Structure 1
Amino acid sequence: MRHRALLLAVLSAPLLTACVNDGATYEIDNTREHVLSLIREQPYFWDNKVNLSLVVSRMPACMRRHSLGAGTPNTKVEVWQVESGAFIVKVGNKRMYATETQNCVNFAKIEGDPEGGMGELRGTFRVKKGELVFEKAEGETDDKAAQ
C-alpha cells in the first residue's frame, strides 16, 4: 500500500510542474517599498488560464491585491503612468484598469479610451525564457519613474 502511494506521488509530479504560480515586480522609485507586482496563479494544470492579480504597495502606508481577471500564461500586462501619478494597467489588448499608490484603495476598470490619454509607458510584465519579468520601457530610468 505504501509503495502505491509513493508511486502515485512520483508519477503525478510532472503534472504539477506545469502549473504557473509566480510573480514579478515593478519598483516605482527604485525601492522595494513602492511597487506594483503582478501575480499569476494557474489553479489547474490542464487549463491554460491563469488568474492575474495586481498588488499595489507603498509601505508602510498601504498594500492591496486587486484581481485583473483571467489570462493565459503569456498574457502581457503594460503599466502606464498618467500625469496625476496614477497608473493604467493594460491586460492583453483590451482590458484596462486604473489604480494609484497614495492609499492603494482606488482601483477601477476603464471602459474605452482613458480621458487624457494613457500617459507614459513605464514597462511591461511579460514571460521571457519561461519566467515572468518586468521590462522597463525604452528610455525609462529609475529617476524618471520616481514620484
Structure 2
Amino acid sequence: MQLGRWRVAWEKLLAVLLVPLLVGCSDQRMSFDIASSKHSLTLIRVQNFFWERTANYSVVATRMPDCMRRHEMGPGGADSKVEVYAPGNEAWILKQGKRMFVVETRTCEGFAKLDGEPEGGLGPLQGTFQMRSGTLTFVVAPKREAADRAPASE
C-alpha cells in the first residue's frame, strides 16, 4: 500500500517537472505599418521549443479592405534578423541572412523566393524585424541625414 502512494506522488512530481518542457512554444508576431495599421507587413515567428536553434517564419501582407494573405517563408535561425527593403510599386523585399523574398501589397498574392538581388537593387532599408530580450520587435531604419538629401552646392 505504501508503494502505491509513493508511485502516485512520484508520477505527480514528474508531471510537474515536465510541464515547462511542454510550454516551450513561442509564437510571436510583429507588424511594420507601411502607411497605417491597415497597410502593413506582419512577421510571424514560431519556435516549437525554447532550446531549438530554428523557428518557422511567415509574413502576412495586408492592405485593408482590399487584401490580406499569409505567405510561408519556412525555417530560419531562431535569432535571425529579417530586413525589409522597399524597391517600389508596393513591393517589399525581405532579407533573412542569405535568403531573400519579395512580397507585394497591391493584391497581397504575389510572393516569391529570390535567387539573388534584383537588378534595380533592394531599395531603401525600411527597418528590421529582430529579437530583443526574447521579444520580436521591428526597429525602424534610421533616417538619412539632411546633408545626404540636400543637393550639392556649386
Q: Structure 2-normalised TM-score?
A: 0.80
- Matches of 2:54 and 2:117, distance apart in 1: 26
Provide the identity percentage: 45
Correspondence for 1:133:
137
Correspondence for 1:47:
52
**Partners of 2:26 and 2:49 within 8 A in 1:** no
- Structure 1, unaligned runs of 5 or more: 141-147
**Partners of 1:68 and 1:91 within 8 A in 2:** no
1:61 CA displacement: 1.0
Structure with the larger strand share: 2
Correspondence for 1:22:
28
Correspondence for 2:99:
95
- Matches of 2:139 and 2:47, distance apart in 1: 22
1:2 CA displacement: 7.6
**Partners of 1:20 and 1:73 within 8 A in 2:** no
- CA-based RMSD of the aligned residues comes to 2.1
Q: Relative contact order (C-alpha < 8 Å, sep 6+): which is higher?
A: 1
**Partners of 1:63 and 1:104 within 8 A in 2:** yes
Mapped pair 1:38 → 2:77:
no
3-state SS of paired residue (2:79): coil
**Partners of 2:61 and 2:108 within 8 A in 1:** yes
3-state SS of paired residue (2:105): coil
1:67 CA displacement: 1.0
**Partners of 2:57 and 2:76 within 8 A in 1:** yes
- Matches of 2:90 and 2:107, distance apart in 1: 12
- Matches of 1:40 and 1:3, distance apart in 2: 38
Correspondence for 2:152:
none
3-state SS of paired residue (2:29): strand
- Matches of 2:93 and 2:82, distance apart in 1: 10
Correspondence for 2:4:
none
3-state SS of paired residue (1:13): helix
What is the identity, as a one-letter code, of the residue corresponding to 1:95? Answer: R
Q: Structure 1-normalised TM-score?
A: 0.83
Correspondence for 1:143:
none
Q: Higher Cα Rg: structure 1 or 2? A: 2
Structure 1 7/96 Cα, relative in aligned 2: closer, same or farther at 3 Å?
A: same
Correspondence for 1:123:
127
- Structure 2, unaligned runs of 5 or more: 1-6, 145-154
**Partners of 1:25 and 1:36 within 8 A in 2:** yes
Pairing partner for 2:67 from 62, 79, 92:
62
